[in-house]
Structure 1
Amino acid sequence: MNTTFLTFAVLLFLATVLAIEGLYLYWISHHGAQAKRLAARLELGSPSGQAGGQQLSILKDRKLSDSPWLVRLLTVVPGVQTFDRALKQSGMTMTVGRFLGYTAACAAIGPVLGVLTPINLMVQVGLSCVLASIPWLMVRRNRKQRLRQLERQLPDAADVIARALRAGHSFPSALGMLADEMADPLGAEFRIVFDEINFGVSMNTALYNLTERVPIDDLRYFVIAVLIQRESGGNLAEILGNIGFIIRERLKLFGKIRALSAEGRLSAWILALLPFVVVAVLSVLNPGFIKIFWTDPTAEKLAGLCLGMMTLGILWMRKIIRIRV
């Protein structure tokens, strides 16, 4: 009896371990980082047509939405392609239609709170505007972080290409080596350039497309140097080595400036958030004291004036602490 129970316990333990391992492997194969990179690579090269008798195209196509009627509506909206480019630059996989859905859902929280709690109409509108801006702020934050990461990888990319050229490789093959050796996101961007050249796109067009996808000044200087060298000749390996050195020095200077201006940026954050924190604390500790701003017409006008002046102050502090290098 004890042997049977012990055997059953061992088999149950092994079955549990194998089930957990199977679930882990399933999750990694469908939702892991490698699977996401592979899906993104396949999406970049997938045709816009679908199977089942519809016409296929070899051109890359990025859908604005999964809904056909919303695609037709967004196509006629001016500036939607620029916004879609910002979404791609942020590295997020959402479409414009899905982003608009998230924005509408966040904006709807204001009226819902107005129904559940006695909040003034102006406060509902202001709250809806603030909440509706959260998805766009997330896109801007992801885009800024991704472009900053691309900028940090660019000096190493210039050195890799320079070493490949000194070893006797051609510039297109050096781009292929860079795409294989460099980590994402810069490796994926140069992989697109390498694939475009292999599919017959001219070198100038492929590099121009790279600058459109990655709007970084240092990358533009890199592309301009390559194009000028292709027209006039010269030692491209030495040119790229000098560009990598200049980019590193500029990033080093930018880091020093950020360190010296850290105190000013922290002070600006504290001054900008302090009024809102005080209002929130007073609303919890003494609701009757702060209630006048939602009930008295004169107080509402004063609150609007204060918000306007605080907005101007925040913009002015932002202009002071932002130092371009």
Structure 2
Amino acid sequence: MTLPTLIIAACFLAFVFVVLLFGGPSVSKAKSRRLAMMKDRHAASTEAVVAAQMRKTIQAASGQGSSLTSLMPRREQMELRLRRTGKGWTVSQYMFASMGLFVVMTGALLVLRTPFVLAALIGVMAAVGLPYLATGRLIKRRVAAFNARFPDAIDLLVRGLKSGLPVTETFQVVSQELPGPVGEEFRGVVERIRIGNTMEAALQESAEMLATPEFQFFCITIAIQRETGGNLAETLGNLSDVLRKRAQMKLKIRAMSSEAKASAYIVGALPFFVFGIVWTMNPEYLSGFFHEQRLIVTGLGGLVWMSIGAFIMSRMISFEI
């Protein structure tokens, strides 16, 4: 077995050891689960019993997977994040993808004769950061697709209510007529209502899944109308108009800030572009950044300051509507 292979195997084992060391089971989470089991055992209402059965089913299904997933810290949040992507990925797949990325990145850097500590550090950063950024991008894309078609779903609900259909039937129509994330979320709402959840609870679960203010406005509208009464079709029509105006305002802000974003991308990519050109033409001139400690510290400091500047610029062009 060659030396690079041994180094890659050692990096992989070190990564697994770190996961096992810092991702062990939490005592507070175990206590919370025991308290939840006691509450479910003495639940009085039908809705509480149904919710308890659903939690038991989900826990049983998740327990059939790999035992490695139980070692991940904040596993529930990661499961929710993966469900938000709409891809059906599991925590086990996410962890194995991260480990594989760590091994590939670290091994490639070691083949290029990068120092072991720097290669391992870059490998850990890639294994932790790239899958997280990828899932975040997928979530953002799915939420954007949902918000783009959500006013059409509300208009379809309004037409169904004006024709005399009940609210649950209009939800079923939307789930069948509209494709993509809108149909999937309304289909989930209909299924949760069928198994015994209230409409408010079913809508709130979808709102927590999407984490978007547009759907939260819709849930609040439905809840207020069911408590106080009134013309739901007219209220939803006004909500659809408000959501369309919000979308137009977001597009206007994106157009006005596009020039600043382009300038930030050019300025931020220029150092890396120049580094790559110089490295291609004269590798020895920049080789000190990979083995001299002072240059390594200087390079990492420059990356940190550039990251701070990019974060500040991103917050300056970010507006809440």
Provide TM-score, normalisation by structure 1.
0.77
Q: Which of 56, 61, 77 pairs up with 2:58?
A: 61
- 1:138 corresponds to: 134
Question: Which whole-Å CA distance do the structure 2 matches of 1:201 and 1:295 have between them?
Answer: 61
Question: Which whole-Å CA distance do the structure 1 matches of 2:317 and 2:199 have between them?
Answer: 40
Instruction: State whether structure 2 residue 310 is matched by structure 1 residue 323.
Output: no
Question: Which whole-Å CA distance do the structure 2 matches of 1:284 and 1:190 have between them?
Answer: 53
Q: Which of 284, 289, 295 pairs up with 1:288?
A: 284
**Larger helix fraction of residues:** 2
Instruction: State whether structure 2 residue 125 is matched by structure 1 residue 125.
Output: no
Instruction: State whether structure 2 residue 65 is matched by structure 1 residue 70.
Output: no
Change (3 A) 1:211 1:205: same
- 2:255 corresponds to: 259
Alignment of 1:1-325 (within 5 A): 59=54, 61=58, 63-64=61-62, 67-71=65-69, 73-74=70-71, 77-132=72-127, 133-325=129-321
Provide TM-score, normalisation by structure 2.
0.77
Matched residue type, 2:169: S
Change (3 A) 1:203 1:114: closer
Question: Which whole-Å CA distance do the structure 2 matches of 1:214 and 1:315 have between them?
Answer: 25
Backbone CA RMSD of aligned residues: 2.0
SS in 2 for 1:100: helix
Question: Which whole-Å CA distance do the structure 1 matches of 2:66 and 2:97 have between them?
Answer: 18
* Cα deviation, residue 123, structure 1: 3.0
Higher relative contact order (CA 8 A, sep 6+): 2
Question: Which whole-Å CA distance do the structure 2 matches of 1:163 and 1:245 have between them?
Answer: 14
**Number of residue equivalences:** 266
* Cα deviation, residue 65, structure 1: 7.8
Question: Which whole-Å CA distance do the structure 1 matches of 2:291 and 2:194 have between them?
Answer: 68
Question: Which whole-Å CA distance do the structure 1 matches of 2:166 and 2:102 have between them?
Answer: 53
Question: Which whole-Å CA distance do the structure 1 matches of 2:223 and 2:289 have between them?
Answer: 62
Identical pairs, percent: 27
CA contact (8 A) 2:110 2:119 kept: no
CA contact (8 A) 1:110 1:127 kept: yes
* Cα deviation, residue 194, structure 1: 1.2
Change (3 A) 1:258 1:305: same
